[in-house]
Amino acid sequence: MLNQAIKTAEEAGQKILEFYETDLEVIEKEDDSPLTKADLAAHHIIVNALKEIDPDIPVISEESGIPDYEERKNWDTFWLVDPLDGTKEFIKKNGEFTVNIALIKGDKPVLGVVYVPALDIMYYGDDTIGSYKREGDSKAEKLETDTFKNTGPARIVVSRSHGDDNTQAELEKLGIEVSEEVPSGSSIKFCLVAEGKADLYPRLGPTMEWDTAAADAVYRYSTNSGEKYSPLKYNKETFKNPYFLLGMDEFIDLE
């Protein structure tokens, strides 16, 4: 399934790039987030491809809506997709947008693919082989990084489009000193922690499960054995994630 998901993410990414250099028509969704034809085109490519892999596995995409909890609460396995994460970055044309495909079992992602089409960077991982990063045609490199132990200052990932001046202050309350802020867009933020370019990703703002699932899988399995701790759970009654701090071995309450 992983190889098929990687291929599907690449196909969706190439379709997105066809729109990237054009004048974009932007529609505001009900939650005031932007939507473009690229989002919808990628959505159809991914959903159709995943149905071909196994028509019995349900697919939830950001652009298809969320089934009622009564319908999905007993699902053991389902695909969770964000066809174009970082639409604001896509509109700004800064390259920091991604295609996200995750496979959820129970309440966690067991497979995740994060493709950055403008940079031709692929992050992927699952609970059997671990996590990898591939740039262009180069050989994929295994991601094996340690969690943050708070024995010194931390490099933190911050959102390029959703800045929060309170983040450093909140971390200082927890006894975490910040040495550097690493700005990034979309789900790339998780991947920067997974590959060791940042220590922590504190999120003091709203996200949905499809925003995080694929990159969360890349982070969880970016270790030489087993699985890293993640504070996030999936297929909740509400699809909204709580505030979270990614990169440590324990739950840290940011609410």
**Residue 160 above 80 pLDDT?**
no
Question: Residue 28 — pLDDT band, cuts 50, 70, 90?
Answer: low
Residue 31, pLDDT above cutoff 60: no
Strands 141-143 and 154-159: unpaired
Instruction: Express each pLDDT in 200-209 by its tens digit.
Output: 999 998 999 9
Q: Which residue ranges does the chain devote to CATH 3.30.540.10?
A: 2-143
Domain with CATH 3.40.190.80 in the chain: 154-246
Least confident range of 20-24, 76-80, 227-231: 20-24
Contact, 225 vs 127, CB < 8 A? Answer: no
- The whole-number pLDDT of residue 161 equals 65
pLDDT at 5 (0 to 100):
98
Task: Please report how the helices 2-20 and 37-53 are oriented relative to each other, as an axis angle in degrees rounded to 10.
Answer: 160
pLDDT in the model for residue 20:
85
pLDDT in tens, 118-156: 999 999 999 999 999 999 999 999 999 999 999 999 999
Q: Which CATH number fits domain 154-246: 2.60.120.370, 3.40.50.12640, 1.10.645.10, 3.40.190.80?
A: 3.40.190.80
Question: With bands split at pLDDT 50, 70 and 90, how would you rate the model's confidence at 245?
Answer: very high
Q: Name the CATH topology of 2-143.
A: Fructose-1,6-Bisphosphatase; Chain A, domain 1 (3.30.540)
**Is pLDDT above 90 for 32?**
no
CA 127 to CA 92: how far, in whole Å? 35
- Tens digit of each residue's pLDDT (9 = 90 or more) over 3-23: 999 999 999 999 999 988 776
> pTM of whole model > 0.85?
yes
What was the pLDDT predicted at 109? 98
Please state the rounded mean pLDDT for residues 151-172: 85
Q: What is the DSSP string of 4-39?
A: HHHHHHHHHHHHHHHHHTSPPP-EE-TTS-EE-HHH
Can you tell me the distance from the alpha carbon of 157 to that of 205, in angstroms, rounded to the nearest whole number? 13
Whole-number Å distance between alpha carbons of 193 and 202: 11
